């Protein structure tokens, strides 16, 4: 069973597409650099660790609109 559940994750990130994209990028980053944001994880896999970071709000997601300068 997935921890945290998809329902709980969608309360933090409102789009499944965004959730998958962010989790995949973070999982790739964890695999390459091993820079953990938490001391203990439930999951052993990188995608699970990324989802846990999102759920615990250790990973901050900025919208593209915030990055646009006029």
Is the residue at 1 inside a domain?
no
Is the residue at 68 inside a domain?
no
- What pLDDT, on a 0 to 100 scale, did the predictor assign at position 61? 72
Is the residue at 67 inside a domain?
no
Q: How many CA atoms are closer than 13 Å to the CA of 47, on its beta-carbon side? A: 5
Is the residue at 42 inside a domain?
yes
Q: Which of 17-21, 26-30, 57-61 has the lowest mean pLDDT?
A: 57-61
Distance between CA atoms of 64 and 48, rounded to whole angstroms? 25
Whether the pLDDT of residue 68 is over 60: the answer is: no
Domain residues for 37?
6-60
Is the residue at 69 inside a domain?
no
- The verdict on pTM exceeding 0.85 is no
Count up the domains in the chain and report the number.
1
């Amino acid at each position: 069973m997935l921890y945290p559940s998809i329902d709980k994750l969608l309360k933090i990130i409102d789009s499944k597409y965004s959730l998958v994209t962010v989790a995949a990028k973070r999982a790739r980053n964890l695999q390459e650099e091993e820079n953990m944001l938490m001391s203990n994880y439930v999951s052993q896999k990188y995608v699970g660790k990324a989802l846990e970071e999102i759920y615990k709000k250790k990973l901050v997601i900025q919208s593209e609109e915030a990055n646009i300068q006029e």
